[in-house]
């Protein structure tokens, strides 16, 4: 049963203290450079699963960096959209990390990644209907109860759609947010990727979301492929600089939301820290422009 | 079968047809788009193994490694979202993988690489001050009363091959021409501060360290070490452990509670 059924005020969904600035994904190859130079970055974000290790350098450096910067904890393995129950052991590990590092935000994906005993290591798509909506809401209630805080839910990038879907993705997400009181992690790259792949208008998609609940924005690069008709098929690979079309969309989002904590994501072909920092500064310029 | 059953099965089986019930809004064949998910799953897991086993990869080349890892992924997909731990038994798979039989030391190099990853992420523990350990050792009339507890990162590997030499040559880009891979070698792996280190040690040291890790007294550990290698040098082995902060506790109990 869902324990939360009424709309929640935005104050609960805005992570406490996550600054309305640009942040960067923290890569282990940049640990020592970050500590040595203490770059002017609004916050760092880490993948929770990378830090589910007993000890060693990852905890050493994250502890030191956490003393200097606000932190966003981003999960990639909870499988909130899974048909089966949530992995309680994994939820307990997340609770421990949150206790240890007191992050300013915790976020996860509208996707599934585990099936039975198997972890598939990808963010897989959901059909959108009322039964699945109920299940996702129950899972998010369970997460928020276990972690004793509201979470942010990230909109997915998808390559396919389901004939059985009866709800639009934006309606589904809006309803999850309304019922559970979770916030929205608006991944603008995912919006662009999905909308190109499904022939939708990206701004129409964004305007159909509850933008008051946006607690964080993600920006990333994509790879480009073609499908069987030779049409553009964009792949969310976090392996390239942010595309101009995504920067443009980001600017339009900020005009609607005002400044929101914005993460530059890069997980593959990670360049020098200075390259990522330049993208963060570019996002900061957008943020300052809408703040004035 | 549920929708996710069907989707997951089709992801893992490379020759399975695209699940039914999917479409692309432009009318493209959904199979051409389902392939993106299947590629993501397989390539991300193969990449995780490539990251964890860099020397194993160098020994056989990228194409061979990826083909071998791909078969492992299909046979043994991860059972947990902790990808750091994925491939813990990859070396056992390599050992039984017939096409790799011409590189007989490949599995042991993979075992060494996994020990390094485990040491890197092993629990933290405070090492005893080096001088304090030396003083305590010197004050004991007989070593037999002493019990040493080693850092959780400390692990060993016995190999019929020159596993440390092979691994080390790939760190420095040194030529393998002068290395005899059939020379048996044992390895000690530990994390000193933030750095994982690999040492070639004798089989006596392996027996000694494993005995300490199994909670035997110094006296018994020494007996096992001498049994494994008559030339075992206790002083040298202790100096190595002390010098790299591998000792976390030192007790002088007469009786052992087990």
The values of phi and psi at residue A47, to 5°, are: -80, 125
Residue B136 has what pLDDT? 84
Write out chain B residues lying below 8 Å of A78, CB-based. Answer: 81
Helix (H, G, I), strand (E, B), or coil: what is residue A55? Answer: coil
Question: Which residues lie across from B158 on neighbouring strands?
Answer: B186
Chain A residues with CB under 8 Å of B23 CB are 160-163
List of domains in chain A: 10-291 (3.20.20.150)
First to last CA, chain B: 50
Q: pLDDT confidence of A27, banded at 50, 70, 90?
A: very high
Q: Phi and psi of A154, rounded to 5°?
A: -95, 130
Q: Which long-range contacts (CB under 8 A, 24 or more apart) does B19-22 make?
A: B21/A127, B21/A162, B21/A163, B21/A164, B22/A160, B22/A161, B22/A162, B22/A163
Inform me whether the pLDDT recorded for B91 exceeds 60.
Answer: yes
Chain B contact for A112 (CB, 8 A cutoff): yes
Whether A77 sits inside 8 A of B152 (CB atoms) is: no
Residue B252 pLDDT greater than 80, yes or no: no
Does A122 lie at the interface with B, CB-CB under 8 angstroms?
yes
Measure the N-to-C terminal CA separation of chain A; round to a whole number of Å: 45
User: In this structure, are strands A183-187 and A71-74 parallel, antiparallel, or unpaired?
Assistant: unpaired
Cβ neighbours of B11 in A, within 8 Å: 120, 122, 124
Domain locations in chain B as residue ranges: 1-103, 124-258
Instruction: Quickly state the pLDDT bin for B254 (edges 50, 70, 90).
Output: low
pLDDT tens digits for range A33-52: 999 999 999 999 999 999 99
- DSSP 3-state percent helix, strand, coil across chain B (nearest 5): 55, 10, 35
Is the ipTM, as predicted for this complex, more than 0.95? no
Chain centroid offset of residue B153 CA:
11
Residue B174 pLDDT: 76
Q: Tell me the CA distances in angstroms from A3 to A87, A168, B77, B90, B137, one per residue in order.
A: 20, 24, 35, 44, 62
pLDDT band at A28 (very low <50, low <70, confident <90, very high): very high
Q: Does the structure show a pLDDT above 70 at A4?
A: no
Longest dimension (CA), chain A: 53
Residues of chain B with pLDDT > 90, as a percent, come to 85
Put simply, the chain A residues between 14 and 33 with a CB less than 8 A from any chain B CB are none
Interface of A with B in 270-289 (CB under 8 A): none
Among A234, A219, A233, A201, residue whose Cα is nearest residue A267: A219
Residue A235 neighbours by CB under 8 Å, 6+ apart? A159, A193, A222, A223, A224, A225, B36
> Computed over its alpha carbons, how large is the radius of gyration of chain A?
18
User: Residue B3 and residue A164: Cβ atoms within 8 Å?
Assistant: yes
What gap in Å lies between CA B203 and CA A93, rounded to an integer?
38
Q: Among A50, A54, A199, select the one facing B26 at the smallest CB separation.
A: A199
Across the range B220-228, mean pLDDT stands at 96
B153 close to B122: Cβ distance less than 8 angstroms:
yes
B216 SS3 class? coil
Assess contact for A209 and A184: CB atoms under 8 A.
yes
Q: Is the dihedral of CA A158, A163, A168, A173 positive or negative?
A: negative
Cα A240 to Cα A232: distance, rounded to the nearest angstrom: 17
Question: What distance in Å separates the CA atoms of residue B232 and residue B253, rounded to the nearest whole number?
Answer: 25
Question: With an 8 Å Cβ cutoff, are B194 and A120 in contact?
Answer: no
pLDDT confidence bin for A14, thresholds 50/70/90: very low
Determine the residue among B2, B24, B43, B74 to mutate to test chain A binding: the one whose Cβ has the most chain A Cβ atoms within 10 Å: B24
Mean pLDDT across B57-85: 97
Q: Does the beta-carbon distance from A56 to B82 stay under 8 Å?
A: no
pLDDT over 80 (residue A5) = no
- Using the structure block, give the residue that is written with the tokens 């019930």: B21
pLDDT band at B176 (very low <50, low <70, confident <90, very high): confident
- In tens, the pLDDT along A110-156 reads 999 999 999 999 999 999 999 999 999 999 999 999 999 999 999 99
A207 in contact with B at a CB cutoff of 8 Å?
no
- Which pLDDT does position B253 carry in this prediction? 65
Kindly tell me if the per-residue pLDDT of A3 is higher than 50.
no
Question: Tokens standing for A126?
Answer: 């959901």
- Averaged pLDDT for residues A256-261: 97
- In the numeric block, which tokens belong to residue B42? 């397989």
Which residue from A118, A124, A197 is facing B37, i.e. has the nearest CB?
A: A124
If DSSP states are collapsed to H, E and C, what string results for chain B?
A: CCHHHHHHHHHHCCCCCCCCCEECCCCCCHHHHHHHHHHHHHHHHHHHHHHHCHHHHHHHCHHHHHHHHHHHHHHCCCCCCCHHHCCCCHHHHHHCCHHHCCCCCHHHHHHHHHHHHHHHHCCCCCCCCHHHHHHHHHHCCCHHHCEEEECCCCEEEEECCCHHHHHHHHHHCCCCCCCCCCCCEEEEEEEECCEEEEEEECHHHHHHHHHHHCCCCHHHHHHHHHHHCCCCCHHHHHHHHHHCCCEEEEECCCCCCC
How far apart, in whole angstroms, are the C-alpha atoms of residue B22 and residue A54? 41
Q: Which residues of B touch A233 (CB under 8 A)?
A: 32-33, 36
* B85 three-class SS: helix
Tell me the chain A residues in contact with residue B30 when contact means C-beta distances shorter than 8 Å. Answer: 160
Give A127's contacts in chain B (Cβ within 8 Å): 3, 21
- Chain A positions touching B117 (Cβ under 8 A) are none
Is pLDDT at A246 greater than 80 in this prediction? yes
Residue B185 contacts residue B163 (beta carbons within 8 Å)? yes
Q: What is the mean pLDDT of chain A?
A: 94
Q: What pLDDT sits at residue A291?
A: 83
Helix or strand (DSSP H, E) at B150: strand B147-150
B14: closest CA among B62, B67, B55? B67
Mutation target among A35, A87, A119 for the B interface, most CBs of B within 10 A: A119
Q: At what angle do helices B106-121 and B30-52 cross, to 10 degrees?
A: 80
CA distance A292 to chain B (A): 41
Residue B138: predicted pLDDT: 85
**Which of A243, A242, A235 shows the shortest CA–CA distance to A266?**
A242
Q: Looking at CA atoms only, how far is residue A123 from chain B in angstroms? A: 9
Q: Does A292 touch chain B (CB under 8 A)?
A: no
The residue with tokens 């193969």 is B46
Higher pLDDT, B254 or B163: B163
Query: Is B4 within 8 Å of A120 when comparing Cβ atoms?
Result: no
Give chain B positions within 8 Å (CB) of A28: none
Residue A15 pLDDT > 80: no
**pTM of this prediction exceeds 0.80:** yes
Q: pLDDT (tens digit, 9 = 90+) per residue, A68-90?
A: 999 999 999 999 999 999 999 99
User: What is the Cα–Cα distance from A242 to A222, expressed in whole angstroms?
Assistant: 8
Per-residue pLDDT at B173: 79
CB of A184 closer than 8 Å to CB of A217? no
* Minimal-distance CA residue of chain A relative to B24: A160
pLDDT, position B2: 87
Pairwise CA distance, residues A162 & A153, whole Å: 21
pLDDT for residue B178: 83
> Taking 70 as the threshold, does the pLDDT of residue A192 lie above it?
yes
DSSP label at A105? E
Chain B touched by A158 (CB under 8 Å)? no
Give me A238's structure tokens. 């976090």
For chain A, give the percent of residues with pLDDT over 70. Answer: 94
Query: Is A87 near chain B, with CB under 8 Å?
Result: yes
Contact A154, A185 (CB under 8 A): yes
Which CATH class for the B124-258 domain? alpha beta
Whether residue A118 lies within 8 A of chain B, CB to CB, comes out as yes
A–B: how many Cβ contacts below 8 A? 142
For the cut 50, the answer to whether the pLDDT of residue A13 exceeds it is no
Name the phi and psi angles at B45, rounded to 5. -75, -40
pLDDT tens digit string along B92-109? 999 999 999 999 999 999
Q: How many residues does chain B have?
A: 258
Q: What's the longest Cα–Cα distance across chain B? A: 84
Q: A267-288 pLDDT, tens per residue?
A: 999 999 999 999 999 999 999 9
């Amino acid at each position: 049963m869902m324990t939360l059924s009424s709309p929640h005020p935005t104050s609960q969904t805005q992570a406490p203290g996550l600054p309305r600035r640009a942040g960067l994904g923290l890569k282990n190859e940049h640990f020592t450079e970050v500590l040595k130079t203490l770059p002017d970055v609004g916050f760092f974000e880490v993948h929770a699963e990378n830090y589910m290790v007993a000890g060693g350098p990852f905890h050493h450096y994250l502890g030191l960096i956490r003393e200097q910067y606000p932190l966003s904890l981003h999960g990639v393995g909870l499988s909130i959209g899974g048909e089966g129950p949530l992995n309680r052991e994994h939820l307990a590990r997340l609770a421990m990390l949150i206790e240890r590092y007191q992050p300013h935000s915790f976020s996860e994906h509208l996707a599934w990644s585990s099936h039975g005993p198997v972890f598939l290591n990808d963010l897989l798509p959901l059909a959108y209907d009322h039964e699945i909506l109920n299940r996702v809401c129950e899972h998010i209630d369970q997460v928020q109860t276990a972690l004793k805080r509201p979470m942010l839910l990230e909109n997915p990038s998808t390559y396919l759609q389901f004939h059985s879907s009866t709800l639009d993705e934006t309606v589904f997400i809006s309803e999850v947010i309304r019922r559970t009181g979770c916030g929205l992690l608006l991944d603008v790259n995912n919006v662009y990727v999905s909308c190109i792949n499904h022939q939708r208008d990206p701004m129409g998609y964004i305007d159909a979301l509850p933008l008051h609940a946006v607690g964080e924005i993600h920006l990333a690069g994509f790879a480009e492929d073609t499908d069987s008709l030779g049409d553009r098929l964009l792949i969310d690979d976090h392996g390239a600089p942010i595309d101009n079309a995504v920067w443009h969309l980001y600017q339009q989002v900020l005009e609607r939301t005002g400044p929101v904590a914005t993460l530059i994501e890069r997980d593959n072909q990670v360049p020098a820290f200075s390259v990522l920092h330049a993208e963060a500064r570019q996002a900061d310029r957008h943020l300052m422009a809408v703040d004035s | 079968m549920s929708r996710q059953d069907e989707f997951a099965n089709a992801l893992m089986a490379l020759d399975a047809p695209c699940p039914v019930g999917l479409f692309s809004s432009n009318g493209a064949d959904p199979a051409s788009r389902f392939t993106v998910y299947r590629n993501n799953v397989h390539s991300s897991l193969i990449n995780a193994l490539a990251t964890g086993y860099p020397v194993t990869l160098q020994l056989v080349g990228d194409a061979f490694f990826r083909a071998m890892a791909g078969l492992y992924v299909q046979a043994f997909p991860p059972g947990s979202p902790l990808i750091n731990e994925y491939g813990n038994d990859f070396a056992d798979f390599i050992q039984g993988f017939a096409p790799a039989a011409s590189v007989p030391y490949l599995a042991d190099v993979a075992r060494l690489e996994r020990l390094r990853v485990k040491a890197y992420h092993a629990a933290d523990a405070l090492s005893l001050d080096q001088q304090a350990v030396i003083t305590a050792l010197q004050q004991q009339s007989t070593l037999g009363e002493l019990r040493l507890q080693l850092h959780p990162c400390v692990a060993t590997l016995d190999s019929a091959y020159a596993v440390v030499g092979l691994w080390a040559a790939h760190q420095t880009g040194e030529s393998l021409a002068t290395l005899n891979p059939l020379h048996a070698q044992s390895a000690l792996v530990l994390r000193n501060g933030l750095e994982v280190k690999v040492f070639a040690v004798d089989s006596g040291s392996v027996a000694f360290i494993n005995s300490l890790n199994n909670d035997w007294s110094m006296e018994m550990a020494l007996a096992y070490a001498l049994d494994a290698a008559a030339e075992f040098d206790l002083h040298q082995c202790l100096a190595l452990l002390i010098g790299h902060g591998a000792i976390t506790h030192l007790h002088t109990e007469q009786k052992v509670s087990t």
